[in-house]
Structure 1
Amino acid sequence: MEWIRGERIGHGSFGTVDIARMRNFDNCSVMAVKSCAYSHSSSLANEKEILDVLKDCPQIIQSFGDCYSFENNEKLYNVLLEYATGGDLGDKVKNSSSGKLSEFEVQRCTKSILQGIYSIHENGFVHCDIKLQNVLLFSSKFGGNNSIKIADFGLAKRARKLNSGCELRGTPMYMSPEMVAGGEQEAPADIWALGCMVVEMLTGAPAWKCRRETDFGGLFMRIGVGEEVPEIPKELSEDGKDFLGKCFVKDPRSRWTAEMLLRHPFLANDDLNCQVTSTSPRSAFDFPDWVSEQSSQMTVLPSPECSSKHGSFDEFDNFESFSTWPAIRLNELVTDQKTPNWSVFDSWVTVRS
């Protein structure tokens, strides 16, 4: 496959995203190419493999292959992706006239995102970083009627798969209670993050009121301990409030699944684009008996010098360990000595949408 690297549209600690201009390629001539050094390519290669599995879902960004290249005396690993002409959903909310979306727009966006999440979960994966910035917008030329697609699977993992301890991964503002308190990140964590997205689309502000760079300790205590959940917008319809209530269930075993939420009245305005045929629970009382997999230890992310949002956690050996007992774990998370550097999750900088 012949392609030419064009202008840069984003970059992070270990990689870049550039325009790729294609030669003799069916359907489109402009794509995005996500590149990183070969020595740090395991996470990007894993992302490409997951996208290959999810290629039949129109709400997931499509990969058009991968390759290696030698540029400036360095071997690079490249993954070719659809180019999102409309930017990301965070930009859409921020640039709207009121700084937020109407309830109808939120319903439409939420349904498409849920269809994508449903496909991710049905294929045995957890995205682990569902947020507005990882939902891309496409024109009809690229996306047809499915103009909203989930992207950035750099942190995605196989469901119920544990590595050497549970990894603390994701974006703090969207983290679920079980992630903060016990290092557990399975399909229900994506649903909690979806609820945070819905609140942010409706209000134009994060679901949790928190000084972004300085108050993560207090945020973790609110998320991981007690019964507090994000405030549900008062102006939202009763169906919308009930929908969010099903997302913000503290116990992940009782939180509604993607399939259940797709059948919720809040999303009745649009026809489903993805067929829902599995045997997932139909109500909050129909969950199978299962026990969440826990590990005796979890790991904290390395500093930005060692990793980025797209870095592979398996590549690093010198993580600090934490007890998974919630009180001890949370106490360690908020101390100065062991506070993770969360700036790693915002390391990708959008240069041009």
Structure 2
Amino acid sequence: MIRPCAAPHEMFRPFPAAPASAELKLSDLDKVGDLGEGACGTVTKVRLRGGSSSAVFALKTAYYPDPNAEEEAEVLRRTSGSPHLVRCHAIFRGAAGEPAMLLELMDAGSLGRVLLARRRAGLPEPALAEVASRCLAGLAHLHSRGVAHLDFKPDNLLANSRGDVKIGDFSESRIFSRTPGERLEVSIAVGSTAYMSPERFAPDARAGPRGACAADVWGLGVTVLELFSGRRPILPDVQRPSWGMLMEAICHGEPPVVPESASSSLRGFVTACLQKDPRRRGTVAQLLAHPFVARRDAGASRRALREIILETM
């Protein structure tokens, strides 16, 4: 049974300052290689000059000063300290004032890449339960710091060779509580369309703390279902569905169906996430107590997840 929990703004607590980086400069970093490029910036693999050859990092650099990039930098500052979020070691300024963030390097890439490497074979339930547990712990930390991720999907869950999975890419994240007790309305009409909940398709969709956190829970449900089935849950047979097609399916169709091969525990977990009415959706605290996560064999789940990550590297 799902029990009520504290609202996100009631869980908010002061956050520590970002790690000091006054003595570190962009010029202290040597580029090792390219990791990726997006609409707003690039990510490169770098090494600290004169440092250990094994001490490598990911450097995310914005193309130009941008309010969203500034928000992302602030999110990284206030959410530091969780083992379930990709760590930010330092934040710099480029020549034009654009932010650059020195991040923990996750050497196994994303869980989206893991699925592709497995030729779209989904994750077994023990490994998936471990992923869900870590994601929920990461979301609990984010939400307690007044932040909604708003772009939850397999490509933004990053893994390393130790078997860790962490939430990354906060470029669409929004801060809904900047001080304890504050309740701000933020835009939730952002992120990857296939993982958006129905209420996010409303024109200029906005939400307060509860609604913003509920949007993350829907994204988690779609992500868990994709990681289990190995295919996109919304319009899986359409190669490149348009925004309109996705909006019609998500807002006016039935929620995605969990395959019959899933256990009743997994089906219940996904169903709790994918309630179309955000007020009926399970909260992060409630889902952490769900049997799919709370009753897993933690040791076996960790081993199963690590084995899958290593076999795809």
Q: Same fold (TM over 0.5)?
A: yes
Match of 1:241 among 267, 277, 294: 267
Match of 2:184 among 161, 174, 177: 161
Q: What is the match of residue 259 of structure 1? A: 285
Shift of 1:8: 1.1
User: Residue 197 and residue 152 in structure 1: after superposition, are their counterparts in 2 closer, same or farther (change >3 A)?
Assistant: same
Q: Within 5 Å, give how 1:94-243 maps onto structure 2.
A: 94-96=116-118, 99-140=121-162, 147-159=164-176, 161-162=184-185, 166=187, 168-181=189-202, 183-184=205-206, 186-210=212-236, 211-225=238-252, 228-243=254-269
Residues in 2 aligned to 1:194 and 1:175: alpha-carbon distance in whole angstroms: 10
Match of 2:115 among 52, 73, 93: 93
2:45 aligned with 1:19? yes
Residues in 2 aligned to 1:152 and 1:75: alpha-carbon distance in whole angstroms: 20
| Contact preservation (8 Å) 2:111, 2:155 | yes
Give per-residue Cα distances to partners, 1:95-150, cap 9 Å, x unaligned. 1266211111111111111111111112111100000000000233xxxx7x1110
User: Residue 223 and residue 57 in structure 1: after superposition, are their counterparts in 2 closer, same or farther (change >3 A)?
Assistant: same
| Contact preservation (8 Å) 1:181, 1:225 | no
Amino acid at match of 2:292: F
Give per-residue Cα distances to partners, 1:187-223, cap 9 Å, x unaligned. 0011111110111111111111252434432321221
Give per-residue Cα distances to partners, 1:47-94, cap 9 Å, x unaligned. 122122221210001101111344xxx665311000110110111122
| Contact preservation (8 Å) 2:34, 2:43 | yes
Structure 1 residue ranges without an equivalent (≥5) = 273-352
SS in 1 for 2:65: helix
SS in 1 for 2:109: coil
Residues in 2 aligned to 1:129 and 1:215: alpha-carbon distance in whole angstroms: 18
Amino acid at match of 1:54: T
| Contact preservation (8 Å) 2:188, 2:200 | no
Q: Within 5 Å, give how 1:71-82 maps onto structure 2.
A: 76-82=98-104
Q: What is the match of residue 77 of structure 2? A: 52
SS in 2 for 1:207: coil
Q: Within 5 Å, give how 1:57-68 maps onto structure 2.
A: 57-68=82-93
Residues in 2 aligned to 1:117 and 1:167: alpha-carbon distance in whole angstroms: 16
Shift of 1:14: 2.9
User: Residue 26 and residue 124 in structure 1: after superposition, are their counterparts in 2 closer, same or farther (change >3 A)?
Assistant: farther
User: Residue 229 and residue 149 in structure 1: after superposition, are their counterparts in 2 closer, same or farther (change >3 A)?
Assistant: same
Shift of 1:167: 5.5
Shift of 1:25: 6.2
Shift of 1:155: 0.6
Instruction: State the TM-score, normalized to the length of structure 1.
Output: 0.68
Structure 2 residue ranges without an equivalent (≥5) = 1-23, 177-182, 300-312
Amino acid at match of 2:142: I
Instruction: State the TM-score, normalized to the length of structure 2.
Output: 0.76
Amino acid at match of 1:86: A
Q: What is the match of residue 334 of structure 1? A: none
Residues in 1 aligned to 2:297 and 2:101: alpha-carbon distance in whole angstroms: 33
Percent identity, please: 29
2:39 aligned with 1:9? no
Q: What is the match of residue 8 of structure 2? A: none
Aligned length: 261
Q: What is the match of residue 56 of structure 2? A: 30
User: Residue 22 and residue 251 in structure 1: after superposition, are their counterparts in 2 closer, same or farther (change >3 A)?
Assistant: same
SS in 2 for 1:39: coil
